[in-house]
Amino acid sequence: MKRYKAVPGPQSIKVEKGHMQAAFYTFEEIINREATLGWEYHSMETIVITEKPGCFNKPVPTSYYMLIFEKDVDPS
């Protein structure tokens, strides 16, 4: 049986011009951290969460990245 875990990715990443690879390392660090805990990377999904900030404001949708991990677990 498999178990799944969703880990939020960074909402935004700021890098200096010409250092785009640093953004990729951010995701790589998350994946490697979870791998040391026994989780295997499965996929990355984008979810949109809409929050209403106050009484007179309109709902604001925000996109988030979720990294999905899986691992085998003993069903007993």
Tens place of pLDDT for every residue, the chain, 76 residues? 999 999 998 877 777 888 888 888 889 999 999 999 999 999 999 999 998 777 778 888 888 999 999 999 888 7
pLDDT of residue 33: 97
Q: How many domains does the chain have?
A: 1
The confidence score (pLDDT) of residue 56 equals: 78
Q: Which residue has the tokens 């009484």?
A: 55
How many helices (H) does the chain have, and how many strands (E)?
1, 3
Taking the C-alpha atoms of residue 23 and residue 25, their distance in angstroms, rounded to an integer, is 5
Angle at 20 between CA 40 and CA 14, to 5 degrees: 90
**Residue numbers of the domain that contains 13:** 2-72
- State the pTM of this model: 0.77
Burial class (CB in 10 A: 0-12, 13-18, 19+), 69: buried
